[in-house]
Chain A
Amino acid sequence: MRPSAVRLLNVLVPIKRTIDYAVKIRVNPQQTGVDTNVKHSMNPFDEIAVEEAVRLREKLKDQVKSIKVVTIGPPKAADTLRTALAMGADSGIHVEVPESAPAPEPLGVAKALRAVIEREKEKGGVDLVIMGKQAIDDDAGQTGQMLAGIMGWAQATFASKLVVDTGKNEATVTREIDGGLEEVRCKLPAVVTTDLRLNEPRYASLPNIMKAKKKPIEKVSPSDLGVNLTPIFETIKVTEPPKRTGGQKVESVDELVARLKQAGIAAVKS
């Protein structure tokens, strides 16, 4: 009998180009959205996902056959793909949507990812999807779960630790849940979504940035994939949140305590 071959992992990392996390966003006067004429970068949770995929290869060496990054976004999202390639991904897939198109919803994105995964079948398939737990623009936090749902795959959300055993074809994941931590074991293929504490993403070095320019990026359109990215929910308006009337300073601890007491806040124990 032949010894069972060790499974070679094909990792897919979906990433999103978002407004940079440090930018103070502004709602546009038409109340249709926010001013997007600002600095963009890779969604921070997705950077963690790319880093984790690259670390997986550093740990498992040849057992990781490929790390592919995929983005669904406007032409400029290609820069985000290059960043991921510079961090160590092998190749990119860009599902290009027009600049003017409304932002796709998580369900549409999940279906597009499913179509990408179907296409990858002939190239060895996808065994593990690592992606951010949420994008910092729409703050939905749904895409990973939706993808796992429509694929019928295992899911491990909010991962703070990931251990993959290619021999057993499974992943052990520590998840950050309300009140503490949970450890689960998933059969591959699986979708893992990253929490902040999974790792500290690396900076791409200049030589790696140069190398990334030569790595292949495949461009496809939503219609190539047979998916419709039109949102189902209708965004009626986007407004500024109510402003706080804060900004008052006091001079001393006495004054601070007086203000607390004035607001009816007393010690519960002495």
Chain B
Amino acid sequence: MASMIVRNFSFAVKTRRSLFLGRAIVRTYASAPSPHALVYLEHRGGQLDSGSLSAVTAATQLGGQVTGLVVGSPEEVPGVVEKAKSLKGLTTLLHSSSPSYAHPLPEIVAPLLQKLLSSSQPYTHVVSAHSSSAKSLLPRVAAQLDVPALSDVTSVSHESDSNTTTFTRPIYAGNAVATVRAPSSLPVKFFTVRTTAFAAAPSDSSSSVEVKSLDPVQAASPTEHISLSLTTSSRPELSTAARVVSGGRALKNAETFEKTIYPLADLLGAAVGASRAAVDAGYCDNSLQVGQTGKVVAPELYMAIGISGAIQHLAGMKDSKMIVAVNKDPEAPIFQVADVGLVADLYEAVPQIIEKMKE
């Protein structure tokens, strides 16, 4: 018995040593690559999306090189590249233009990303904003490369020693936060970032970014773009506005929604948001919906007018700095998260607020 233990012990020692040696050899030949992130930069109307600026910030937090990628039509790309090349944190900027990229459907852009990621250039991470177009594209490409992806991450840190990356992300409509680690065996780590959790990367005219053009990859797409209808508004963009005034079901109809919410929003220079109930009832456009299934906002001020505060709505706004709620129902869950809550009829209170804010 005793000898067996001894034998086992010596065996264990041997194994440990050989493992150690093996590891040392591996280290010499292929030490963990320093992180190199590829950020998919989105743009519209010649402007970089603010969400992509947050994605650049998240990418820089990995602590390695950051390459941006701009894809679009030959008319758009030069202007966007001009703006993107001064982004602080970028080390390289790739751009690819083709008339077929004018409407960058996932089926059209995926082959380009696939080619880029399969080439010798060792990208360790692929990053984008958690926007509707990147949400459609990144998982498609990840699966084609047989790697998983993470959505809507709120923090990221890379451990170079172990070549692992640790993320946090909200689950269950933000009612829990999962801390997740991507193992070193995962060659490319795909993730989309919650843009309200990362500051926008600033521009720095002195930065020297290497700009390279990339040949487009033409592939037959089973999908074609037909039309686009965008909601135009002179108000700030909802997901990045510093102030948001949102209306709920209590607004009764589209007309009163407009008459009540818009003047207050305009007075404060705020974007207009809405609860799902208000959107479903047709009081305003779908794109204004705040919540788990709509936009996630984290403004300096969030005013919830006639919104009860269902879990799904709170998921989209509870990281706001200051939450102000006006609701008739003193039991409305919104009051549990509001910094300033007023139990009142909104039709009386809102005009008064407008009046008094003007003073």
A248 / chain B contacts, CB cutoff of 8 Å: 338-341
B143 touches A145 (CB 8 A): yes
- Complex Cα gap A177–B295 (Å): 11
Q: Verify if B150 is at the interface (C-beta below 8 Å from A).
A: yes
A234 / chain B contacts, CB cutoff of 8 Å: 180-181, 183
Known: A177-B132, A190-B222. A107 touches B228 (CB 8 A): no
Q: Verify if B10 is at the interface (C-beta below 8 Å from A).
A: no
B138 / chain A contacts, CB cutoff of 8 Å: 145
Contact residues of A between 136 and 174, Cβ < 8 Å to B: 136-143, 145-150, 153-158, 160, 172
**B 261-274 to A, binary, CB cutoff 8 A, 1 in contact else 0:** 00000111100000
Q: How close is B77's CB to chain A, nearest CB, in angstroms?
A: 20
A250 / chain B contacts, CB cutoff of 8 Å: 340-342
**B 152-173 to A, binary, CB cutoff 8 A, 1 in contact else 0:** 1000000000000010011111
- Complex Cα gap A68–B335 (Å): 44
Number of A-B contacts (CB under 8 A): 263
Q: Verify if A238 is at the interface (C-beta below 8 Å from B).
A: yes
B338 touches A260 (CB 8 A): no
Q: Verify if B344 is at the interface (C-beta below 8 Å from A).
A: yes
Q: Verify if B210 is at the interface (C-beta below 8 Å from A).
A: no
B26 / chain A contacts, CB cutoff of 8 Å: none
B175 touches A25 (CB 8 A): yes
**B 315-343 to A, binary, CB cutoff 8 A, 1 in contact else 0:** 00010001110100010000111111111
B269 touches A249 (CB 8 A): no
Q: Verify if B287 is at the interface (C-beta below 8 Å from A).
A: yes
Chain A interfacial residues counted at CB < 8 A: 84
A158 touches B132 (CB 8 A): yes
Chain B contact residues: helix, strand, loop or mixed? mixed
- Complex Cα gap A124–B110 (Å): 29
B349 touches A235 (CB 8 A): no
A34 nearest in chain B by CB position:
B176
Query: Of the candidates B143, B180, B224, which one forms a contact with A110 in the assembled complex, judged by CB atoms under 8 Å apart?
Result: B143
A139 touches B324 (CB 8 A): no
B151 touches A232 (CB 8 A): no
A177 / chain B contacts, CB cutoff of 8 Å: 132-133
Q: How close is B224's CB to chain A, nearest CB, in angstroms?
A: 5
Contact residues of B between 232 and 284, Cβ < 8 Å to A: 239, 243, 266-269, 276, 280
B344 nearest in chain A by CB position:
A253
Q: Verify if B2 is at the interface (C-beta below 8 Å from A).
A: no
Q: Verify if A179 is at the interface (C-beta below 8 Å from B).
A: yes
B residues contacting A by CB (< 8 A) are 44, 103, 105-107, 110, 131-133, 135-144, 146-152, 166, 169-183, 186, 221-231, 239, 243, 266-269, 276, 280, 285-287, 292-293, 295, 300-301, 311-312, 318, 322-324, 326, 330, 335-344, 349, 352-353, 356-358
Given contacts A150-B144, A172-B226, A233-B148, 5 further A-B contacts (CB under 8 A): A139-B151, A180-B231, A238-B176, A247-B335, A247-B336
